[in-house]
Amino acid sequence: MLVGAAILLISILSAYFYFMVNDPDALRSESFKLSKMALEKGMMGDSIVGLVDVNALSNEPRSPRVITQENVNG
């Protein structure tokens, strides 16, 4: 039983270090990923208002296009 626990711990730590080196985004939370994608696409907002396209703000100051999280993903 102790050997099984040791193998499990080594497997988990190995996977963590593998992804830490090769794909750090895989270890981040979903909310962090959504925020990062919104920043990369030039959007701003919060959890109350939602995301607003910054380009829409500069072109149409009275009616910005509000974007939901579903639109950010796809």
**Per residue of the chain (74 residues), what is the pLDDT tens digit?**
999 999 999 999 999 999 999 988 888 888 888 778 777 777 776 666 676 776 666 555 455 555 666 655 55
Quick check: pTM over 0.75? no
Please name which of 72, 38, 44, 47 lies closest in space to residue 58, comparing C-alpha atoms: 44
| CA distances, 12 to each of 15, 37, 62 (Å) | 5, 28, 51
pLDDT at 32: 84
Cβ atoms < 10 Å from Cβ of 53: 20
| Structural domain range at position 56 | 2-73
pLDDT at 27: 87
Cβ atoms < 10 Å from Cβ of 65: 14
